[in-house]
Amino acid sequence: MGMKITFSKTARKDADTAVIVVYSNKKLGPQAAALDKKTGGFIKQALINHNKFSGKNGETLALSLPAKSPFAQAVLLGLGDASMLEPLKAEDAGGKLYIALKQSGAEKVTLLIDGHTKLKKISEAELAAHIGNGIKLRSYTFDRYKSKKKDKGALKAVGVQVGIQAKAASLFKTLNSTAEGTFFARDLVNEPPNTLHPPHFAKTLQNELKPLGVEVKILDEKEMKKLGMGAILAVGMGSDQPPRMVIMRWKGNKSDKTAPVAFVGKGVTFDTGGISIKPAGGMDEMKMDMGGAAAVCGLMKSLALRKSKANVVGIVGLAENMPSAKAYRPGDIVKSLSGKTIEILNTDAEGRLVLADCLTYVQKTYKPRMIIDLATLTGAMMVALGHEYCGSFVNDNSLWEKMEKASATTGEKLWRMPLDPIWKTAMESATADLQNLGKTGRYAGACTAAGFLEHFIEGKTAWAHMDIAGTAWRKSDKPTSPKFGTGFGVRVLDRLVADHYEKK
């Protein structure tokens, strides 16, 4: 849910805090000037006195106002050079404003949006909507397991005042849908693995997405066996919680007869490594190994909430990778849904097995014109690009161009990685068709993983593999929430669909 944000033309009378925007020329816009007048020129004077506040983008300054003022305090929000201001910067400023509002003790806030004659990369309505989106995205919390809710502070609501209120509200509505999708993905990642096991994950999708008009089909392990999904089933064998595959369909345009686009997510609800067990330190973090699946589900929620005019299939492969007497072993040879046999050399390289069967299933069943998979697939990806960039392996230049644009507009950073035939070959086995470890050893680990997946892409289907091992999860510098899911992928893929796969 996060913060509730509303739009209107005039300031809320019941607010205790007014936010005014300040560009780098430090001149007050009409709404700010009107307020300043009521304070007897207090704000103008403060701008002169506080020589440290320069109106830089994202800078904030809280001021207690004199008694005669209509609000107890004002928070100044710097927006920087008007001619350089663009939606992502507005969003960033909104995030910082949220922090400043919390610190100032504000309860009810009225945010006075003044435009500027030099705005050219953003309209006034967009400015209002994107600052709102920044506030919203930053206001996320996950505290359902705290018996004593941490004091959430007094901040209850933010009302945005802007001349073109209807336009701003309608822009925000779309952004808000995607923020809600992002929150859903974050919630799924943050949920502990003892509750979010595969059957519960599948049920959650049914409960959350069906009411929004998304078709949700759950394959249980019996059906998966019957179909021949030997790869994902092998991963789940060691667990008492059986695997699931969930197929979600959003049919936003019934008259559009072109093939749908498909998104596939790795949903390993906990990855111990299996018999090739991981070291104890930090193993708790492997509850986030379903971050790819979470992103796909968050995307489906966003598409449904904003009633996207696209036809989209989302598939998640859900399994828990546990060591036990029933677990699969190194040395096993399993048969994937594609018919290709796979020699298991390391049970910790399980994500690619889960994805393999999902990829085959989606191609056989829906013949999509484009597939993107998301997975927390390799530690090697994190070594290469850290938490900032998501390495993306793409077999189609025009698809990559589209992804790159969507990345630039949403700020979810993608970096193209190489798909080379050498890594595809490195995954061929002497005894089976494939092996799940690359012959190049630990070098190029993210690339060999992509090379493995490439064996499951049929014909010339446009395909991208996004390894979100580094971006799905973040260690925060705040001691109170040391680790949390980011919902990475929802925003960039929602943008991609909106820009290229919706027929109006």
Which one of Mn ion, ligand BES, Zn ion, none is in contact with 454 (Cβ closer than 5 to 8 A by kind)? none
Tell me if 494 contacts Zn ion by CB under 5 A: no
Has 186 been annotated as catalytic?
Answer: no
Kindly report the backbone phi and psi dihedral angles of residue 108, in degrees, each rounded to the nearest multiple of 5, phi listed first.
-120, 125
Instruction: Answer yes or no: are the C-beta atoms of 297 and 494 closer than 8 Å.
Output: no
Which one of ligand BES, Mn ion, Zn ion, none is in contact with 379 (Cβ closer than 5 to 8 A by kind)? ligand BES
Out of 271, 320, 343, 467, the residue judged to bind Zn ion by CB under 5 A: 271
Tell me if 469 contacts ligand BES by CB under 6 A: yes
> What are the angstrom distances between the C-alpha of 144 and each of 155, 199, 303?
19, 20, 26
Site string for ligand BES, 432-461 (x = CB under 6 A): -----x-------x----------------
Q: Between 224 and 275, name the residue whose CB sits nearer to ligand BES.
A: 275
> What are the angstrom distances between the C-alpha of 10 and each of 37, 62, 155, 374, 424?
17, 22, 20, 44, 61
Instruction: Answer yes or no: are the C-beta atoms of 340 and 261 closer than 8 Å.
Output: no
Site string for ligand BES, 109-148 (x = CB under 6 A): ----------------------------------------
**Positive or negative torsion for Cα 388, 394, 396, 399:** negative
Kindly report the backbone phi and psi dihedral angles of residue 246, in degrees, each rounded to the nearest multiple of 5, phi listed first.
-120, 130
Site string for ligand BES, 366-395 (x = CB under 6 A): ----------xxxxx-x-------------
Tell me if 247 contacts ligand BES by CB under 6 A: no
User: Which tokens belong to 272?
Assistant: 């111990």
Distance separating alpha carbons of residues 346 and 348, to the nearest angstrom: 5
Sort 501 into a burial class: Cβ within 10 Å, 0-12 / 13-18 / 19+: buried
For Zn ion, the nearest residue by Cβ is 271
**Candidates 102, 203, 278, 413; catalytic one:** 278
Tell me if 349 contacts ligand BES by CB under 6 A: yes
Taking the complex as a whole, the smallest distance from the CB of residue 484 to ligand BES amounts, in Å, to: 14
Residue 274 β-bridge partners: none
Has 352 been annotated as catalytic?
Answer: yes
User: Which tokens belong to 200?
Assistant: 């519960």
Tell me if 289 contacts ligand BES by CB under 6 A: yes
Restricting to residues 252-281, which ones interact with ligand BES according to CB under 6 A?
Answer: 271
Tell me if 271 contacts Mn ion by CB under 5 A: yes
For ligand BES, the nearest residue by Cβ is 379
For Mn ion, the nearest residue by Cβ is 348
Query: From start to end of 220-260, where are the E strands?
Result: 244-251
Tell me if 346 contacts ligand BES by CB under 6 A: yes
| Closest by CA position to 11, among listed 210, 165, 161 | 161
**Contact window for ligand BES (CB under 6 A) among 23-31, 193-201, 346-354, 453-461:** 346-354
Contacts of 153 (CB under 8 A, 6+ apart): 102, 105
Q: To 5 degrees, how large is the angle CA 456–CA 462–CA 466?
A: 75
Taking the complex as a whole, the smallest distance from the CB of residue 280 to Mn ion amounts, in Å, to: 15
CA atoms within 13 A on the CB side of 215: 9
Distance separating alpha carbons of residues 90 and 415, to the nearest angstrom: 24
- Rg of the chain taking only CA atoms, in angstroms: 25
User: Which tokens belong to 357?
Assistant: 């069967």
E strand or H helix at 21: strand 17-23
Helix (H, G, I), strand (E, B) or coil at 461: coil
Out of 114, 289, 343, 454, the residue judged to bind Zn ion by CB under 5 A: 289
Which one of ligand BES, Zn ion, Mn ion, none is in contact with 105 (Cβ closer than 5 to 8 A by kind)? none
Site string for Zn ion, 363-402 (x = CB under 5 A): ----------------------------------------
Helix (H, G, I), strand (E, B) or coil at 90: helix
Instruction: Answer yes or no: are the C-beta atoms of 492 and 410 closer than 8 Å.
Output: yes
**Candidates 352, 424, 491, 495; catalytic one:** 352
Taking the complex as a whole, the smallest distance from the CB of residue 471 to Mn ion amounts, in Å, to: 17
Taking the complex as a whole, the smallest distance from the CB of residue 348 to ligand BES amounts, in Å, to: 4
Tell me if 348 contacts Mn ion by CB under 5 A: yes
Site string for Zn ion, 219-248 (x = CB under 5 A): ------------------------------
Residue matched to tokens 């530690």: 379
Out of 87, 265, 351, 489, the residue judged to bind Zn ion by CB under 5 A: 351
Tell me if 267 contacts Zn ion by CB under 5 A: no
Out of 80, 132, 351, 489, the residue judged to bind ligand BES by CB under 6 A: 351
Residue matched to tokens 């000037």: 33
Out of 187, 350, 373, 412, the residue judged to bind ligand BES by CB under 6 A: 350
CB environment 224-262: b (16+ within 10 A), e (fewer): beebebbbbbbbbbbbebbbbbbbbbbebbeebeeebbb
Binding site for ligand BES (CB under 6 A): 271, 289, 346, 348-351, 376-380, 382, 437, 445, 469
List, by residue number, the catalytic residues: 278, 352
Binding site for Zn ion (CB under 5 A): 268, 271, 289, 351
Binding site for Mn ion (CB under 5 A): 271, 348, 350
